[in-house]
Structure 1
């Protein structure tokens, strides 16, 4: 795995690069937000929020605007507001310092499984495209079309849609969605999930396309 590590603290970055190498992970390290945005595309980004030039939140926002690369935030900011903001901006996971190398590697592999195109299989063509009514989800390219028109989705919006589309019409609990799309250790109040579902409904053009079962979860409505 080719990883971009964005960390300005040498005492953290250098042993982290060496430790990841022992797990067969090649980490290219940069120390500023500007260098991260100018770096060659990586398979995953490990992003410190406390950078000397650009706040890591802004770096994440910009990365998400230009590329669909998995991002794990590494930060000393452990407050719920910071975690929710980071996840809503598209981070795939959020790890608070100090953390163990084994936990980080486990999180990286989990994020990789969730975000790799086609990893979830699917009902549809051999290329990984799934049709649910007028909606087509192509896992190979992570693209969605509605009646033939592309639907631009943020990475987490896409992941929520894929989780719901795994069994169209079936209820997916809130906890299952949070653990599948974000992290098994996500203990926020779930507002970030409601935010992404609301965005999905708006982009799909029909509030009824995703039904809410209050206090339970959501389901993707099956239309002919």
Structure 2
């Protein structure tokens, strides 16, 4: 797999181990230590994924993620020593794709990176045999070439993970998807918390309601998972 990653991490031993693990997977990893440098590099483009440390000398990864989400939907993984659930939830809500707690295995991180890259919209678009845009038997239209979902003819502003979750459910309306299945569809590593799916579903519901206050097409099946209602719900 050939890809270019930006790592924003001020702990050089950690950075060196991550760079080495990614190099073994034929993934080029460029490294900076400051929020300002990371933002400048990401604005210039050319990266397939970003790995952000939360605690940095001139700021934090959460703020950097918020800034990046203003101009890019590049996949983002957080590295952090913060284990509190609220920190993980905040990280996912602001647009991260995964959250890795320190200390961690560089090889496991490399595996998570590979999984996310395989599930990127660009990769899915080139490997999909289904027509695009494709009209599903719901109030949704999925344009796979542009990685855009229309809800009641209006485009949704989705993160990469939200797009992949919604696309998966829209392809099979009324089918109940487990959290594990949605994690796999969105490229979230198996070691990620299933709570992350709930967070992304909550965000999706808010975005759908913002476009149509009388609609709630996502169904919760307690103990099972989620489904998308058929029709204009």
Q: TM-score range by the shorter chain?
A: 0.7 to 0.9
Residue 61 of structure 1 contacts residue 89 of structure 1 at CA under 8 Å; is this kept in 2? yes
Cα 1:118–1:11 change in 2 (3 A) is closer
| 1:32 and 2:34 matched | yes
Cα 1:24–1:175 change in 2 (3 A) is closer
Residue 172 of structure 1 contacts residue 219 of structure 1 at CA under 8 Å; is this kept in 2? yes
Q: What is the CA distance between 1:209 and its match in structure 2?
A: 1.9
TM-score by length of 1: 0.86
Alignment map for 1:171-190 (pairs within 5 Å): 171-181=176-186, 182-187=188-193, 189=195
Partner Cα distance (1:99, 1:193) in 2: 24
Partner Cα distance (1:149, 1:34) in 2: 35
Q: What is the CA distance between 1:195 and its match in structure 2?
A: 1.6
Among candidates 3, 6, 11, match of residue 5 of structure 2: 3
SS of the residue corresponding to residue 193 of structure 2 reads: coil
Alignment map for 1:22-171 (pairs within 5 Å): 22-39=24-41, 40-41=44-45, 42-117=47-122, 119=124, 124-125=130-131, 128-132=132-136, 133-171=138-176
Cα 1:146–1:179 change in 2 (3 A) is closer
Q: What is the CA distance between 1:70 and its match in structure 2?
A: 0.5
Number of residue-to-residue matches in the alignment? 222
Taking only aligned residues, the RMSD between alpha carbons, in angstroms, comes to: 2.4
Residue 122 of structure 1 contacts residue 130 of structure 1 at CA under 8 Å; is this kept in 2? no
SS of the residue corresponding to residue 69 of structure 2 reads: helix
TM-score by length of 2: 0.83
Structure 2 unaligned spans of 5+ = none
Work out which structure has the larger RCO, using CA pairs closer than 8 Å and 6 or more positions apart in sequence.
Answer: 2
Partner Cα distance (1:180, 1:217) in 2: 14
Residue 6 of structure 1 contacts residue 36 of structure 1 at CA under 8 Å; is this kept in 2? yes
Provide Cα deviations, 1:126-148, integer angstroms capped at 9, x if missing partner.
xx432124421122221122344
Cα 1:118–1:209 change in 2 (3 A) is farther
Partner Cα distance (1:149, 1:197) in 2: 14
Partner Cα distance (2:230, 2:128) in 1: 16
Structure 1 unaligned spans of 5+ = none
Q: What is the CA distance between 1:208 and its match in structure 2?
A: 3.4
